[in-house]
Amino acid sequence: MNAAQVVETLKQRFPNEPEYIQAVSQVLPTIEEEYNKHPEFEAANLIERLCIPDRIIQFRVSWVDDKGKVQTNMGYRVQHNNVIGPYKGGIRFHASVNLGILKFLAFEQTFKNSLTTLPMGGAKGGSDFSPRGKSANEVMRFCQAFMTELYRHVGADEDVPAGDIGVGGREVGYMFGMYKKLTHQFTGMLTGKGREFGGSLIRPEATGYGNVYFLCEMLKTRGIELKGKKVLISGAGNVAQYTAEKVLQLGGIPMTMSDSDGYIYDPDGIDREKLDFIMELKNIQRGRIKEYADEYPTAKYVPGKKPWFETGCEIALPSATQNEINEEAAKALVANGVIAVSEGANMPCTPDAIKVFQDAQILYAPGKAANAGGVSVSGLEMSQNSGRLSWSAEEVDNKLHWIMENIHENCVKYGTEENGYINYVKGANVAGFMKVAKAMMAQGIV
């Protein structure tokens, strides 16, 4: 395999999907050396088969708003690869959603799920519908209309969606209710469900908790503790909230949070009381992060910006969306003394930003490794549903901690360079790829 040639071919075939091309171009060069040790992979044209999704489903979603007007959105499901288990990946409701973004997310999900050690393939779905500014009834009607088409393509042993940006417990509940009505079945075909109807304890917390667990494993390689460290966090949704919660529990100090309008910086740190305010603001009131500065006047609110240029912090945990840290922001983070960056979001750092981190030899963890905690506990939820079981929060959290330690161990195994620096990007990509590749070879050309 010549990684550059493969990327160029895909770029010509899919010229209007920059996020997908970016994801592929970040993975293929890191696995090229390992891939070329296995001539049987090339004989089976494995790399092209791995890059192109098994199946893409696109459909129209028509729904009626509170004023009685018919609205139309696009719905998608990209089923990328199911060679090691049923398709598994979130559903995203956001105005930015398009096919290229979902293809990149599904591609990344395939390797992330492989890393978890659990039997799950990779998929992603969603719609350009945004719940922001919509009433609960409008969100319910949209979710029901969306599932009216999607239900044909998902199921507990076929494809198990979950939440993502714009899709929390409320939206999952509405979709699950409609699936159950349409199929007359009560199965674990969605994860992130309410605790009352098959959801797992620790699932809402899992992505944020898992990212911090992975961060701690990275810090251990240099004999550093999280306790006392000041932390930059982006986002104010599920991932960011529970990232901040676990940072607090382990003695770190969250300094920032953000949403699409801007960010807040609290010089006194975001403590438990302040985090509770943010959780109520975002989860119940569905307000904007700028209201934090109104409640706590010592904090500043910076509209239209991201928090990466703030000084005096040692750790950055991007937990919002893709490409939120560019080369300029990465250089600022390094210059300001940040020692570790761990991705809570999917591909929040551009390729140029990643190069800055790696050239500076700071600890950097890609999302497919660091934020795999969410899908890991989704996999544990699937196991509980299949066995009609319910595990304690402590049991699930212990399993999550073990999974993140195992992922870190595999990243170290495949990513340690001659000078001792751990290239977590290479380690995660090679570890995830090899499991999928071997399964594809075993199952033949299908």
In whole angstroms, give the CA distance from residue 347 to residue 322: 5
Count CB-CB contacts under 10 A for residue 255: 24
Mind giving me the DSSP string for 269-335?
---HHHHHHHHHHHHTS---THHHHHHSTTSEEEET--GGG-SS-SEEE--S-TT-B-HHHHHHHHH
Count of CB atoms situated within 10 Å of the CB of 135: 11
Determine whether 134 is an active site residue. no
Tell me which of 88, 103, 112, 124 is the catalytic residue.
Answer: 124
Q: Which two tokens stand for residue 4?
A: 């550059």
Contacts of residue 219, Cβ cutoff 8 Å, sequence gap at least 6: 225, 226, 340, 363
Q: Is the dihedral of CA 276, 191, 104, 404 positive or negative?
A: positive
Query: Is residue 210 classed exposed, middle or buried when 0-12, 13-18 and 19+ CB atoms within 10 A define those classes?
Result: buried
With contact defined as beta carbons under 8 Å apart, do 83 and 433 qualify? no
Residue 280 backbone class (left: φ over 0; alpha: ψ -120 to 50; beta: rest): alpha
Catalytic residues: 124
